[in-house]
Amino acid sequence: MENTVFPGIRASDIAVRLDGVCKQYKQRQGRDDTPRSWRNLFSRQYKTITALDNLDLTIHRGETVAYAGPNGAGKSTTIKLIAGLLTPDSGTVTSLGMNPFSDRVRYVRNIAVVFGQRTELWWDHPVSSSFRWKKSIWKIDDEIYSRQIGILRERFNLAPIWNSLARDLSLGQRMRADLALALLPDPQLLLLDEPTLGLDVEARMAMLRYIRDLNANTGLTILITSHNTSDLEELGQRVVLVAQGTKRFDGSFRQLRAQVGDVRDMCVVTDSSRHPQVPDTIAYDRSEGRAHYYHFMADEHNIMDIIDMIGRQCRILDISIERTSIDNILTQLYRRYNSA
Ligand SMILES: Nc1ncnc2c1ncn2[C@@H]1O[C@H](COP(=O)(O)OP(=O)(O)OP(=O)(O)O)[C@@H](O)[C@H]1O
């Protein structure tokens, strides 16, 4: 009989599991006041940074998990641990039934890691050379290679850039080729660290579409980090929030929004640059000319009453009320975590 991990979940359903993972770094400290001091050479000072503090994380096969958190929260460290590039100081990391570090040779054939700021492509060579190079280094069988190239060229629209030098590609094209190259060995797990970093809106939307289709069509397990949280909301069925190396939230985006309530953003354009007065429970944000911005909790106010109150002070030329962005929700939550 198969091992059960939690009621209703079999061990084989789990792609990645981190149990009580701690990771610290030693950061060398410099001295500004005595830059050339001999003392710097002989008495180096180090500061210990806790990047991950007792982190538990379970990712099921076929899931796309969005991994979010403020700067320095420990996201990249988590990705590096799952990729087998680092080992934990304590706790365990198990991925695809293996220890990513000690089973590295066997393990790396089953995962793809894409870092937004780095490329695996040969810079001065055509894109196709990088694929052939990977085939030979990874000793990929001819038949599997042809099948994979066929699928990847079509899925990522590689034909127009196949013979272009990597250094001549736009950032969006480069990311597309890098993602395809990472998927050449047909991995079971994809780790994406900031895959949309620096992309313009069009390239970003295209990249999100590729990732979404990939999960829908292949059932690949995906863990993705991004500073652009609206990207994560587009992709992740599930979001995990980390802050100061600790998991703060694990659930759906709907549940995440419910953490701060149903916040609405309102913009009222009036005939005056003076912002209209509203009840204290409505937060005035800013004015840009005659456009005035507010936030309020939908369940605490009657929208018609607010409009009525503003209309008695000035002429309303335009008004828009929408659900607040996921970025605003996260900003509020990060503030809460920092002050806790
Ligand atoms: N190689 C390293 N040496 C020393 N300290 C490190 C190293 N890598 C990360 N850190 C520190 O560990 C903490 C977590 O870093 P990490 O890069 O995992 O966070 P992150 O959530 O990915 O941050 P960001 O969103 O800014 O990329 C930070 O305080 C960082 O300064």
Give me ligand 1 centre to Cα 144, in Å: 37
Q: Two tokens at 307?
A: 């409009």
What digits encode the pLDDT tens for the residues 54-64? 999 999 999 99
74 in ligand 1 pocket by Cβ < 6 Å? yes
**How much is the pLDDT for 4?**
38
Atom of ligand 1 nearest to the CA of 193: 22
29 in ligand 1 pocket by Cβ < 6 Å? no
Mutate to test the pocket of ligand 1, among 27, 29, 49, 50 (most ligand atoms within 8 A of CB): 49
Q: How confident is the model at residue 260 (pLDDT cuts 50, 70, 90)?
A: confident
**How much is the pLDDT for 1?**
38
Q: Two tokens at 332?
A: 């509020």
Give me ligand 1 centre to Cα 325, in Å: 26
Q: Two tokens at 77?
A: 């460290």
Per the listing, tokens 């054939």 go with 109
Percent above pLDDT 90 for the chain: 65
Residue ranges, comma separated, of all CATH 3.40.50.300 domains in the chain are 14-28+47-257
Q: Two tokens at 248?
A: 């703060």
Contact 295, 265 (CB under 8 A): yes
Closest CA to 239 of 227, 255, 263, 220: 255
What digits encode the pLDDT tens for the residues 150-185? 999 998 999 999 999 999 999 999 999 999 999 999
Mutate to test the pocket of ligand 1, among 18, 23, 27 (most ligand atoms within 8 A of CB): 27
> Which residues, other chains included, contact 105 with Cβ-Cβ below 8 Å and sequence gap of 6+?
none
Whole-number Å distance between alpha carbons of 251 and 237? 9
> Is the pLDDT reported for residue 114 higher than 70?
yes
> Which residues, other chains included, contact 328 with Cβ-Cβ below 8 Å and sequence gap of 6+?
263, 265, 295
Closest CA to 89 of 47, 46, 54: 54
- Partners of 26 in the β-ladder: 48
Give me ligand 1 centre to Cα 53, in Å: 13
88 in ligand 1 pocket by Cβ < 6 Å? no
Whole-number Å distance between alpha carbons of 101 and 221? 19
Q: How is 29-66 classified by DSSP, letter by letter?
A: E--SS-TT-HHHHHS-EEEEEEEEEEEEEEEETT-EEE
Task: Domain 14-28+47-257: give its CATH code.
Answer: 3.40.50.300
Burial status of residue 106 (CB atoms within 10 A of its CB: 0-12, 13-18, 19 or more): exposed
226 in ligand 1 pocket by Cβ < 6 Å? no
Task: Write the residue with the smallest CA distance to atom 16 of ligand 1.
Answer: 74
Residue ranges, comma separated, of all CATH 3.30.70 domains in the chain are 262-323
What digits encode the pLDDT tens for the residues 182-220? 999 999 999 999 998 888 888 889 889 989 998 888 889
Give me ligand 1 centre to Cα 73, in Å: 7
Whole-number Å distance between alpha carbons of 128 and 121? 9
**How much is the pLDDT for 228?**
84
Give me ligand 1 centre to Cα 309, in Å: 49
> Is the pLDDT reported for residue 51 higher than 80?
yes
> Which residues, other chains included, contact 332 with Cβ-Cβ below 8 Å and sequence gap of 6+?
260, 263
Architecture of the structural domain at 262-323: 2-Layer Sandwich (3.30)
69 in ligand 1 pocket by Cβ < 6 Å? yes
Task: Write the residue with the smallest CA distance to atom 17 of ligand 1.
Answer: 76
